[in-house]
Structure 1
Amino acid sequence: MQLSEQQLSKLTATDADRTLTDSPGVRGRVRAGVDGKISVSFLFRYRFDGKHRDAPLGTWPHKSLHDIRRAVLDAKTQLEAGIDLVGQKQEARKSLQLVSAARDKLLATQRQDIALAECSFKALFEAWLEDGTIAKNKDAMKSSVTRHLCMFLDRPAGTIFGDEFVPVLRAIASKTKSVAIALFRIIRRMYGWALTHSKWTTVIRFSPLAATKQHIITGQYLRKFNKRALRPHEIPLLDRRIQETHIPEDRAVWGKARMTPLPADSEHGIWILLGTMMRVGELCNSLRSYVNFERREWRLPPDIVKTENQHVIHLSDFVIGHLEKLFALSDSPWVMPHPDDPMQPMPPQLFSKRIGDRQKPRRARKTKTRQSPTWTGLDLPGGRWMLHDLRRTGASLMQEQMILPVVIERCLNHFQESDIRRTYQVYAYEPQMKEAWLVLGQYLDQLLNPTEPGIERRPVAPPPVPAEEDWEVLPAARHWRRSPSAVVIGKLPA
Structure 2
Amino acid sequence: MAKLTVRQLESLTEADDGKTLREDGGIVGKVRAGVRGITVLFRYEFKLDGRKHDHRLGSWPKKSLAELRAERDVAKTKVAKGIDPTKANKAAKIEVQAAIAATIAEAERQTTDNLTVADLFAEWLKDGVARQDGNAELTRTFNKDVLPKIGKKKIRELSERDLLSVLRSVRERGLNRTVVILNNDMGQMLRWGEKRKPWRGLMVDGNPADLVDVEKLLDADYHEERDRILTAEEIRELRDIFARLESDYSDLPAGEKYSGIRPVTTRVQCAVWLCLSTLCRIGELLKAEWKHVDLDAGTWFIPAENTKGKRGKRQDHHVFLSPFALSQFKRLHAETGDTPFCFPSKSKTSHVCVKTVSKQIGDRQCRFKNRKKPLPGRQHNDTLVLAGGANGEWTPHDLRRTGATMMQSLGIALDIIDRCQNHVMKGKVRRHYLHHDYAQEKAEAWRLLGDRIEQILSADNVIHGQFKRA
Counterparts of 2:110 and 2:382 in 1: how far apart (Å)?
63
Flag the structure with more relative contact order, 1 or 2, with Cα contacts below 8 A and sequence separation at least 6. Answer: 2
Q: What is the CA-CA distance between 1:435 and the residue it aligns to?
A: 1.6
Provide, for residues 121-149 of structure 1, a one-character-per-residue CA deviation record: whole Å limited to 9, x for no partner.
33322221111111235344345434534
Q: How does 1:20-419 map to 2 (within 5 A)?
A: 114=110, 116-117=112-113, 119-135=115-131, 136=133, 138-147=135-144, 148-150=146-148, 152-175=150-173, 176-197=175-196, 200-205=199-204, 206-218=206-218, 220=220, 223-248=223-248, 257-307=259-309, 308-330=314-336, 331-338=338-345, 340-360=346-366, 377-381=383-387, 382-416=391-425, 419=428
Does the CA contact (< 8 Å) of 1:116 and 1:156 recur in 2?
no
Specify the SS of the correspondent of 1:192. Answer: helix
Say whether the 8 Å CA contact 1:280–1:388 is kept in structure 2. yes
Answer whether contact 1:397 1:440 (CA < 8 A) is retained: yes
Q: Secondary structure at the match of 1:268?
A: helix
Conserved in 1, the CA contact under 8 Å of 2:124 and 2:189?
yes
Where do 5+ consecutive residues of structure 2 fail to align? 1-104, 466-470
User: Are the counterparts in 1 of residues 268 and 357 from structure 2 also a CA contact under 8 Å?
Assistant: yes
Decide whether aligned partners of structure 1 residues 354 and 189 sit closer, same or farther in structure 2, where only a CA change above 3 A counts.
closer
Percent identity over the alignment is 24
Q: Give the match's secondary structure for 2:232.
A: coil
C-alpha distance in 2, partners of 1:391/1:170? Answer: 31
**Cα 1:156–1:368 shift into 2, 3 Å:** closer
Change (3 A) 1:282 1:143: closer
Give deviations 1:252-285, integer Å, cap 9, x for gaps: 9xx8852422222222222122111111111111
2:149·2:166 contact (CA, 8 Å) conserved in 1? no
Deviation (angstroms), 1:370: 5.3
Q: Is the 8 A contact 2:235 2:457 kept in 1?
A: yes
Query: Is 1:261–1:376's contact at 8 Å kept on the other side of the alignment?
Result: no
Distance 1:342 1:142, change over 3 A: closer
Change (3 A) 1:458 1:369: closer
Distance change >3 Å, CA 425–CA 210, structure 1 → 2: farther
Q: What letter corresponds to residue 323 of structure 1 in structure 2? A: F
**Which residue identity does 2:450 align to in structure 1?**
G
Aligned residue pair count: 345
Deviation for aligned residue 1:232:
2.3
1:446: Cα distance to partner?
2.3
Shift of 1:241: 2.2
C-alpha separation between the residues in 2 aligned to 1:190 and 1:289?
38
1:369–1:295 Cα change, 3 Å: closer
2-structure distance, mates of 1:303, 1:240: 36
Where 1:247 maps in the other structure, the secondary structure is helix
Question: Which deviates further from its counterpart, 216-225 or 186-195?
Answer: 216-225
Q: CA RMSD in A?
A: 3.9
The aligned residue for residue 68 of structure 2 is none
Q: Which amino acid aligns with 2:268?
A: S
Deviation per residue, 1:171-210 (Å, 9 max, x gap): 3322344444333222211222223336644444531112
- Retained in 1: the 8 A contact 2:150–2:162? no
Change in Cα spacing, 1:266 to 1:160, as seen in structure 2 (3 Å) is closer
Distance 1:110 1:288, change over 3 A: same
Paired letter, 1:386? T
Q: Which amino acid aligns with 2:343?
A: M
CA distance in structure 2 between the aligned counterparts of 1:415 and 1:369, rounded to whole angstroms: 38
Between the aligned partners of 1:347 and 1:371, the Cα distance in structure 2 is 16
CA contact (8 A) 1:238 1:378 kept: yes
Distance 1:220 1:188, change over 3 A: farther
Residue 260 of structure 1 contacts residue 376 of structure 1 at CA under 8 Å; is this kept in 2?
no
TM-score (structure 2 length as normaliser): 0.63
- Check whether the contact 2:229–2:401 (CA below 8 A) recurs between aligned residues: yes
Distance 1:441 1:137, change over 3 A: same
Conserved in 2, the CA contact under 8 Å of 1:301 and 1:309? yes
CA distance in 2, matches of 1:167, 1:376: 31
Conserved? CA contact 2:241–2:384, under 8 Å: yes
Following the alignment from structure 2 to structure 1, what is the Cα–Cα distance between the partners of residues 143 and 357? 28
The 3-state SS of whatever aligns with 1:456 is coil
Indicate the SS of the match to 2:118. Answer: helix
Deviation at 1:438, TM superposition (A): 1.3
> Is the Cα contact below 8 Å between 1:119 and 1:156 reproduced in 2?
yes
Q: Take 1:369 and 1:151, find their aligned partners in 2: how far apart are those partners?
A: 21
The question of whether the paired residues in 1 share the 8 Å contact of 2:374 and 2:380 is answered with: no
Gaps of 5+ in 1: 1-108, 460-494
Kindly state the Cα deviation for residue 415 of structure 1 after the two structures are TM-superposed: 4.2
| Residue type at the aligned position of 1:356 | G
Q: CA deviation at 1:161?
A: 2.7
| Separation in structure 1 between the aligned mates of residue 380 and residue 169 of structure 2, nearest angstrom | 32
Superposed displacement of residue 419, structure 1: 4.9
The 3-state SS of whatever aligns with 2:208 is coil
The more displaced of 432-441 and 258-267 is: 258-267
User: SS at 2:301's partner residue?
Assistant: strand
Instruction: Please give the secondary structure, in 2, of the residue aligned with 1:377.
Output: coil
Partner Cα separation in structure 2 for residue 158 and residue 389 of structure 1: 43
Distance in structure 1 (CA, Å) of the matches to 2:292 and 2:318: 10
